[in-house]
Structure 1
Amino acid sequence: MVKKNLWLVLSAALLAFLSVMLFFKIQERNLTIKLNNHNLSEDAYAITLKDRMTIEQLDNKLQNSSKTDDIQVHYQDKKRKNITYFYGIGNFSVPPLVKGNFFAAADFQSQVDVAVVGQSFEKKLYTPKDQSYLKIDNRYIPVLGVMGNHRGSDLDKQIFISLNEKQRSSMLANDFRIVIDGKRSLNKKTLKNLLNASDIRYINHKHFLIQQDSWAVAHWEELLGLALVALAFFSGVFICLLPVRKHYLEAVFLKKDVKKFIFDEWQSFALFNALGIVFGIIAGLLVFDITTYVIIFVFNIVVYLLINCLYVAMLKKQTEKLGKGD
């Protein structure tokens, strides 16, 4: 009995740990998909303006509105796909950095351009002393930080530039692909009215998922892994039922009630599986840097409830057969 209970705890802990690892892999892949699209969420809007408007005018409209907090605006160069002129308001989403800092509020009011570059440009930077510079169009732009992570993404090849005030007041926003993204979902009608836009639509979702536009296809390896984890949990039910005949005969010899026998067997199964799952999840959360916990708990709780239901159903079926002398 001790060996069985120990096996239950260890196997459940291992499977729960593996589930945390797989959800961490999904988290990493989701981040890579996001970074492949300029660190924009799938709720970002592409804006087409009706009227001619400078970058400064558009920025000011957004800045002065109480309905557009915590947003980032990307003015994407239509010819040079790796250059984006960036403007942020409030607590906007920041990409991962391998060194340095991202833009702060003061950088959007600067008298000089400043940049944050993808990590593929790191070795191309000119660093005479403590400050690094990026050479663009025969001029050197101070670099605040380097974007990227260990997995690598299209963001590694991007250059984000915060324009100086003079350029913002002279460059037309209409000349760029304008994308606006909020930390929370933005209201389409509010943006359209505020900017007098002729068209506003979600950016192409295929950039977030892959060509087949399917989240499941993009994460098929992790989903297969989770299916195998669930299958392993269910396989454990049948393994735990192997010694039932022996336990049942012992219970009959001791004149134990059948319902009491079923309850005791299930109680042991449920308790040690629960302990294992809790230990496995805790170990996984300590090892992996998880940002969203809910789905991990939901997956493990659902699997736990299902294997308990299956165990009780199979246990009742076996005891009925044994009671009939089969």
Structure 2
Amino acid sequence: MTCYATFGIEDDQNELAGAIIFHDCPNISALPTVDWEYWLHALYGVQDADIRNTFWIHYFAYDVRYEMLFAYHIIQHIFKFFKAIEFLYLVLPPGVTKIDCLEEFAERLLPRDCKNPNNTQSLYRICNRSVTLKYKIRRAVEEDNDDLVALIDMHSERLKDLYGEFYIAEILTTHKDSGRHIIVAEHNGCAVSVIILNETVIYELLNQEFELTPFNGLRKRSEQDDVEILQSSQPDLIQSATDIGDINLEDKSVKFFSASFEDEEEYFIDVTDSDSDYSIVLTTSDLFAFDDEEEEPLREPPEMVM
């Protein structure tokens, strides 16, 4: 069975809790895969679903312990991963009226002029808006103080210790001309996320704390910039590379592999001035080449004829 996408979810023991297989057409053998849009409109009256914004569920399986949990998280991930997808459909055969694990967020669609809902083929439709949370993005107001202070305290209590419990309200009222802007995300009437923007940028402090040279210190280029350009000739670069190759490594204590195998310690490479706690083990199969006929290690490489 071919599929467009398959997603699974694991529990805290790294065991598969459930999986769902998605395709870009319904799993009805008598229906051409390229003609389902007309079929969906003519039989069920659906006009807003097409091949660009719709997936079809072909198969799903789950551990009975996670029957009511697995589908929501997988479907939520589908809508987040495939931004263009707005609808998920599942074909329900005659005699099937609901699926418990999808009932919470799925809507059943019956054919037009259906006279026997319990014994007819129907569809389950899952909309993006019924699974994915939608946030309202707006400017913060003074009434958001309690929500935002509690939200920021989850990550750091330093601001409350320095400025008190009403510093958000003070920024919005007393210091509203300070160049700060507070943007919040609201869900169900509650501020659940916040970002504070400041027009004042201390470039010197940022350059002390971060390596911003590749970005010109976050400043625009100017003719007055004091830029030192180092020019090196090709012979100088070649000489520099040669000097690197001539670095004296005699002070390093290195024990290399010995072909005699008389001492087991010789299987290890030990670099005494290394900070690593690991030893490198060399295996014999990587060190010798064998002739197919003699099955003896070739101690010397073959002569090269020029």
Note whether the superposition's TM-score is higher than 0.5: no
Answer 1 or 2: which has greater strand percent.
2
Give TM-score, length-normalised by structure 2. 0.18
Give the TM-score, by structure 1 length: 0.17
> Computing the radius of gyration over CA atoms, which structure comes out larger, 1 or 2?
2
